[in-house]
């Protein structure tokens, strides 16, 4: 089973109880929302996922090669 505890904690108790009591309804609703988002915002979602994947891959490759990433500069408040 795949669980994301941060999302579970963010959901209200009523919604968690409904999902637990009616899992088919929850899966169907999730599929419909995913289908709608995919049809209307598919290119943006895909480009964001590709960007995250490339960043994770580059970070992993740097760690494997022993190349430390440059430290980030903290933003200074004026």
Question: Where are the domains positioned within the chain?
Answer: 11-65
Over range 49-72, report the average pLDDT. Answer: 84
33: burial class by Cβ within 10 Å (0-12, 13-18, 19+)?
A: exposed
Give the helix ranges, DSSP H, for 1-78: 5-10, 13-21, 23-65
- Taking the model in full, what pTM does it have? 0.49
Q: How confident is the model at residue 70 (pLDDT cuts 50, 70, 90)?
A: low
| pLDDT for residue 75 is more than 70 | no
Average pLDDT over residues 1-12: 77
What lies within 8 Å, CB to CB, of 26 at 6+ separation is 18, 19
């Amino acid at each position: 089973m795949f669980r994301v505890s941060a999302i579970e904690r963010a959901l209200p108790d009523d919604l968690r109880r409904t999902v637990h009591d009616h899992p088919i309804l929850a899966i169907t609703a999730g599929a419909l929302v995913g289908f709608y988002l995919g049809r209307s915002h598919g290119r943006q979602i895909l480009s964001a996922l590709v960007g995250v994947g490339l960043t994770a891959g580059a970070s992993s490759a740097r760690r494997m090669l022993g190349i430390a990433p440059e430290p980030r500069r903290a933003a200074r408040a004026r």
